[in-house]
Amino acid sequence: MGTTASLSLCKSITSVNIKYCKNKISPESQTDKKPFKIFGVPLETLSQQQYMHSGIPFVVQDLVEYLTNFGLEKKGLFRVSGSASKIKTLKEKFDQGEKVNLIEDGDIESAASLLKLYFRELPTSVIPYSQHTEFLNVYQACNKDTDECTRKLKGLLGNLPPSHYSLFKYLCTFLLKVASHSQSNQMTQENLATVFGPSIFHVPFGPTIQGQTIYNSLLLYLLRNFEILFPNSGDNPSLLQQQATNEVR
């Protein structure tokens, strides 16, 4: 069984369930391959080396599962940084192919920080830079026309590489789950878009605050329209890619 994440159109967002892979292929179980770095490695490479399932790296599964079980009620989740030394230790263990017990070796703040770090260190952002202009042009041109904007953005999402599409969908599902507990954790969709926008799009930190705000707003729009953009948990990225050209026109 692999990791899947789904939203049902007939249920409220609080009923979102994230299922986890229970029979993961751990790096150390692959006797014919030496463990290599997990962080900073292209998604396509991880897929080829069987360090992910259905486009979801095992490290992301582990962190999301841990945070879902223990962190959803944590006030300021993703805003409070974890221990730098603990984050470094956990990262090294994942990179060396060791089994990581987040319950014993980690904590909520460190796991949350490590998840953000994973996305920041991807060589190619989840929404690749080569497609940023298309996403921004569509969003800025027609964001007041929700139906038109959503239709075109859905087509652009379908153009993402399959592993990027799956990972983005999985992360958004988790973020919406976090937001459904915002009364406790104070992490609304707006706050989560602000925290993850730079990591999803690899927006450089610096004086271009306006640029960061645009990307954050785009991510917020994608979160708010998730059920339309990803209406079926069984969507096949390759099929969406075939439809994308017609949808964007």
| Structure confidence by residue, pLDDT tens digits, 44-90 | 998 887 788 777 999 999 999 999 999 999 999 999 999 999 999 99
> Are the CB atoms for 174 and 18 separated by under 8 Å?
yes
Least confident of 18-32, 127-141, 196-210, 234-248: 234-248
Least confident of 2-11, 39-48, 139-148, 231-240: 2-11
Q: Give the span between the Cα atoms of 165 and 107, in whole angstroms.
A: 29
Q: For the chain, list the domains and their CATH numbers.
A: 4-248 (1.10.555.10)
Region 110-135: mean pLDDT is: 95
Q: How far is CA 149 from CA 190, 202, 242, in A?
A: 19, 22, 19
The pLDDT score that the predictor gives to residue 165 is 95
The pLDDT score that the predictor gives to residue 7 is 37
CA angle at residue 165 from 162 to 166, to 5 degrees?
85
What is the pLDDT confidence band of residue 9, given thresholds at 50, 70 and 90?
A: very low
The pLDDT score that the predictor gives to residue 225 is 95
Q: How far is CA 203 from the centre of its chain?
A: 15
Region 205-233: mean pLDDT is: 83
Least confident of 14-23, 64-73, 93-102, 201-210: 14-23
Q: Give the span between the Cα atoms of 231 and 70, in whole angstroms.
A: 28
Taking the complete model, does pTM exceed 0.85, yes or no? no
- Angle between helices 162-179 and 209-224 in degrees, nearest 10: 80
Q: Please give the mean pLDDT across all residues of the chain.
A: 81
> Are the CB atoms for 27 and 52 separated by under 8 Å?
no
Q: Regarding predicted confidence, which is higher, 29 or 125?
A: 125
